[in-house]
Structures are given as C-alpha cells and as structure tokens.
C-alpha cells in the first residue's frame, strides 16, 4: 500500500477508511491498493459531503461520499506522524 509522505491531491476517492489513531486510507477508483496517510491522533482533517459512515462506533470506520467520489487535498511531510491538514469533499 502506497504511503503518502508528500503533499498530494487525490481525485476519485471512492471511500475513506479511518481510525481513531489518526490513520486515513484512501480508496481511489482504478487502484488496487489504498493510499495511506499516517497522522497523529489529533490531526487536522475534515471530510464534507458524507453520505454515510459505517462502523462509526468502532476504532475503524468507512466514510462514503454523498456524490460519486471525494476529492482530497492531503498535506504530508513525512511517512508517519503528520498533523495535516487533510481536506476531502464530495464531488
């Protein structure tokens, strides 16, 4: 799974798999692996245009867009311990 260690814009994100520890995994249409962003527990991230969240009471949760995809602007300067920001919005 590719690790996000530099700033990137991800288009056509089908869903986001998140955890309470600050990790976000992005499922991009046409890709076979998640793009993983390792953030800190209190990292600055926001996701707008959410249709539904599954397993929202557990440590791992899936976030689905209100539209077809999310577009995500991800800030990273290292492989682990990033603080953000990460901004995703439904297209």
29-71 residue pLDDT tens: 999 999 999 999 889 999 999 999 998 667 889 999 999 999 9
User: To which residue do tokens 């998640």 refer?
Assistant: 34
pLDDT at 1: 77
Tokens of 2: 């590719």
State pTM to two decimals. 0.94
pLDDT at 4: 98
Tokens of 46: 């926001």
pLDDT at 56: 65
Rounded alpha-carbon distances, angstroms, from residue 25 to 10, 68: 11, 18
Please give the mean pLDDT across all residues of the chain. 94
* Percent of the chain residues past pLDDT 90, beyond the cut: 85
């Amino acid at each position: 799974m590719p690790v996000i260690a530099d700033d990137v814009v991800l288009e056509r994100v089908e869903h986001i798999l998140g955890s309470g520890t600050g990790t976000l995994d992005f499922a991009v249409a046409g890709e076979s692996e998640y793009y993983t962003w390792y953030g800190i527990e209190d990292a600055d991230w926001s996701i707008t245009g959410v249709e539904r969240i599954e397993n929202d009471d557990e440590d791992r949760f899936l976030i689905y867009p209100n539209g077809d995809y999310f577009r995500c602007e991800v800030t990273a300067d290292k492989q682990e311990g990033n603080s953000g920001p990460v901004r995703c919005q439904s297209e």
